[in-house]
Chains A and B, each alone.
Chain A
Amino acid sequence: MNSVRSFFEAKRIIYETPTSIPRLVVYPTRELYLEAVRELKTVGFDFCSDICAVDYLKHPDRLLPKGVEPQRFEVVVNLVSTVTAERAKIRVQIPEGDPVVHSVFSVYPGVEAGEREIFDLMGIHFKGHPDLTRILMPHDWEGHPLRKDYALGRIPVQFSKMDDSK
């Protein structure tokens, strides 16, 4: 734990150590995200529990630790160590104009499906992902449904081979 703290301090990565689970929340910039994840893996967080993204379109002024500049999108990675049963969370801010972030596929191969899901539903691109294609929606779907500006209940439903005359 101490070694990872000194790493973050040397790299000027903002982190928090709350009293509740998880005991470590890291807020790296986009550029240092991959490095931070690699460092967390080397200190023992060997299992990537979950990766998901949030669209904070309606809350641009939300509460974040000092020094973290809020952006529209946030990718959240939940890690756990299967040895010490400790959890860690990474929250990385991604701007609206250029929604691109490094893929952590090289560190945790299990995120392959999770990153594809984020790309499909939230429209965030992962640099270095081996097969970044739609996973849940049809391949010819337009838009990213989990974004907050995506209209609900749009009619007609976009399915390929839909006959409009009916």
Chain B
Amino acid sequence: MTEITEINEVTQTSKANEVNVVDEVTEATLRLPEVSSLTPWDINAAKGSEVTTDETMIINMGPQHPSTHGVLRIMLELKGETVLRSKPIIGYLHTGMEKTGEELTYAQGSTNVTRMDYLSPLNNELVFSLATEALLGIELPERAVWIRMLMSELNRLSSHFMWMATNGMDLGSTSMMIYGFREREMILSFFAKTTGLRMNHNYIRPGGVAADLPDGWQEDVLAICDAIPPRLEEYDSMLSGQPIFWERTVGVGVITTQEAIALSVSGPILRATGKPWDLRRAIPYLFYDQVEFDVIVGKNGDAFDRYAVRLNEMRESVKIIRQIVDKMPLGDYRVDNKKVTPPPKIRIGESMEALIHHFKLFTEGFKVPPGEVYTAIESPRGELGCYMVSDGTSKPYRMHIRGPSFYNLSGLPTMLKGGFIADAVAVISSADPVLGEVDR
């Protein structure tokens, strides 16, 4: 009996406190309620003054906000907590890379473009090299093409791991962040072994790749292939069924197929709406028509489907990498053309001609016939294109990169509209923008 009375007393006192809190609120203070039954609307902050007719508020998110993945700034118009209109404002990272590209030779150009999308540098180099080679009209040895495919698929994995990590971080799952970076490191160490660098590799160059794969690469790649699928299962069991993750992603940031296509949104965002549009399948480049893989599509076009599409794409990438290891032929890793590829280093000391070629290639560069071409590949973020104009000299007359993130950001206002401001973080994260590529 005594216990029950005590509880009653406690509840009574807490009710008394509630009333007191409401009474204590004075005109000037707008503060959050201390008792859970109070909502902000209970506090009449404007008491005594006239209620303004402006019901919306415009606030800036970014460019220093940590969950905007760089220096993205978004102007949000809010009504209460609901986002009405929004506008991405970019350009904080603009470094004039397209202009720089006009001043660098074709041989130097891949050093420039690799810094655009710094999470998938090999894909940038690939699209630049493909554009140059289309203008040159050269055909690569098979091994070079397979090496390119291997590297670009591994890069898709590392980029998606990075996305899983940052997305987990944005949604409050710190363990996902740690796991994502751990797995990415495994791939980056293979990149370091092959290309010499963890990022900004300058490995895929016009005419082939910079170096052959290191000895024992099969074991390294297969070790990665063996390690990743069980880890993906772990992520799946950790996130996919987790109520908190569901609450934050299901039905958040919805975009339809029609909207996505009209807004030139590509990649996992478009596929999450149910459209099986993947350039690796639709307009195959390299040897993607010789490997078996599935194009992953979602259904609802929300943040959860984008997560699911990326997670399953990683499984498909592992499948592709295993096939590449099986099919990798022997042969040259770059085209045997003295005018395009530098001679082997050992030849420079013994052959005058090799020395001249080496000198000419690294000072003047090779000349590319006049023409213009648009090539596109499927980068981890969507359609990555390169429009290149040559005027017959050794430098591109115009080099334009179609960054997938740049166009995907146009879809952001549609995805944010009608959602809560708290969900804005989840939506921006699910769009996976890389600002280095947006601003170029």
Contacts and interface: CB of A to CB of B under 8 A. Distances in A.
Q: Say if A and B assemble together.
A: yes
Interface of A: 21-22, 46-50, 52, 54-55, 58-59, 62-63, 76, 78, 80, 82, 85, 87, 89, 108-114, 117, 121, 134-138, 145-146, 152
Interface of B: 90-91, 94, 96, 98-99, 103, 261-266, 275, 277, 282-283, 370, 372, 374, 376, 383, 385, 387, 389, 391, 397-398, 400, 402, 406-407, 409-410, 439-440
Given A110-B264, A152-B103, A50 B387 contact: yes
B contact patch SS: mixed
A58 B391 contact: yes
Contacts of B374: 22, 49-50, 76, 78, 87, 89
B262 A110 contact: yes
Contacts of B91: 134-138
B398 A110 contact: no
Given A54-B389, A80-B283, 5 more contacts: A52-B387, A52-B400, A52-B402, A54-B397, A113-B407
Contact of A110 (B263, B389, B391, B439): B263
Given A109-B262, A145-B96, A59 B376 contact: no
A136 B265 CA distance: 20
A136 B90 CA distance: 6
B397 A110 contact: no
A76 B373 CA distance: 11
B268 to A, nearest CB: 15
B400 A137 contact: no
Contacts of A136: 90-91, 94, 439-440
Contact of A59 (B94, B275, B387, B397): B397
A117 B407 CA distance: 11
B410 A113 contact: yes
A52 B131 CA distance: 16
Given A52-B400, A87-B283, A136-B439, A47 B264 contact: yes
